[in-house]
């Protein structure tokens, strides 16, 4: 892939144009990972509405998602006549983890929680990113202190791919206004103060003034609140 073009993505602000340009610049594999949060729905709309075909959209179904997440998944497929590829945890690993530790063992220690995240999310993600050149994400700097130092384009040395975060500098208001403007389906849990939505047992709503990530793994220290998907 042309390194000068990759660098130019840093300065592109129009989400539709930047994704079109990216898709037209290479025949190599480009993927977008969605968890159906509001940021991801912006990118999904930009891809599906503009018929950008050579970007594979996928999601990780952990088996512990909210019913509302499955609902917006279904609505997205129907509204855009789209295809979203699902990746699932390996049966044997989930069975071994649950049988050895219990169905909700992730509450018992950070180590067990991270092991659960690895089995349900990280390992399926690694399969989804096999032979990928560019991985598009919905990460925003506003989401977490850990993401303030991110760039729109980053080289992932471990996975040997470019990671593209086109919404990095968008505010929550900009995201919400985009969804309203284009009538994009969204997870209705967002209407009830759920900000960052993951697995149902590990996500709660947040109170006014709480940190963006306070609702994720709320029983843990703030510094440990990442699952390993984004390193």
Q: At 129, which CATH number?
A: 3.40.50.620
Helix residue ranges, H only, the chain: 3-8, 15-24, 38-49, 67-80, 91-101, 110-117, 123-128, 172-182
Q: pLDDT: is 150 or 177 the higher one?
A: 177
Burial readout 128-158 (b: 16 or more C-beta within 10 A, e: otherwise): bbeebebbbbbbbbbbbeebeebebbbeeee
pTM of the predicted structure, to 2 decimals: 0.91
Model confidence over 107-118: pLDDT tens digits? 999 999 999 999
Q: What are phi and psi of 31, to 5 degrees?
A: -135, 155
Q: pLDDT: is 211 or 33 the higher one?
A: 33
pLDDT over 70, % of the chain: 92
> With 80 as the cut, is the pLDDT of residue 149 above it?
no
Residue 105: inside a domain: yes
The residue with tokens 């984004």 is 230
What is the spatial distance between Cα 162 and Cα 156, in angstroms, rounded to a whole number? 6
- Tally the domains of the chain: 1
Residue 75: inside a domain: yes
pLDDT of 144: 63
Residue 24: inside a domain: yes
Of the candidates 220, 196, 200, 198, the one whose C-alpha atom is nearest the C-alpha of residue 103 is: 200
In the sheet that holds 134-136, the strands lie side by side as: 85-87, 55-60, 30-33, 134-136, 161-164, 153-156
What residues act catalytically? 227
- pLDDT, mean over the chain: 91
Containing domain of residue 149, as a range? 3-187
Sign of CA dihedral 149, 190, 46, 180: negative
Confidence of residue 186 (pLDDT cuts 50, 70, 90): very high
> With 90 as the cut, is the pLDDT of residue 2 above it?
no
Of the candidates 58, 62, 50, the one whose C-alpha atom is nearest the C-alpha of residue 22 is: 50
Residue 58: inside a domain: yes
pLDDT of 58: 98
Confidence of residue 225 (pLDDT cuts 50, 70, 90): low
Residue 163: inside a domain: yes
Model confidence over 159-175: pLDDT tens digits? 999 999 999 999 999 99
Q: With contact defined as beta carbons under 8 Å apart, do 133 and 163 qualify? A: no
Model confidence over 42-78: pLDDT tens digits? 999 999 999 998 999 999 999 999 999 999 999 999 9
The residue with tokens 């006014």 is 208
């Amino acid at each position: 892939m042309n390194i000068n073009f990759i660098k130019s993505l840093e300065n592109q602000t129009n989400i539709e144009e930047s994704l079109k340009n990216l898709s037209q610049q290479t025949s190599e594999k480009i993927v977008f990972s969605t968890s159906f949060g509001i940021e991801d729905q912006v990118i999904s709309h930009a891809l599906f509405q503009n018929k950008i075909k050579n970007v594979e959209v996928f999601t990780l179904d952990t088996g512990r998602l909210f019913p509302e997440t499955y609902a917006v998944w279904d609505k997205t497929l129907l509204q855009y006549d789209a295809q979203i590829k699902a990746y699932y945890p390996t049966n044997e690993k989930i069975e071994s983890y649950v049988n050895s530790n219990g169905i909700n063992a992730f509450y018992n220690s950070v180590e067990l929680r991270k092991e659960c995240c690895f089995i349900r999310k990280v390992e399926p993600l690694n399969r989804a990113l096999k032979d990928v050149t560019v991985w598009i994400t919905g990460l925003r700097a506003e989401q977490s202190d850990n993401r303030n130092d991110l760039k729109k384009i980053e080289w992932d040395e471990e996975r040997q791919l470019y990671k593209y975060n086109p919404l990095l500098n968008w505010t929550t208001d900009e995201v919400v206004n985009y969804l309203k403007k284009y009538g994009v389906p969204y997870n209705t849990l967002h209407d009830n103060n759920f900000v960052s939505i993951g697995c149902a047992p590990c996500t709660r709503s947040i109170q006014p003034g709480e940190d963006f990530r306070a609702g994720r793994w709320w029983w843990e220290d703030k510094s440990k609140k990442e699952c390993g998907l984004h390193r």
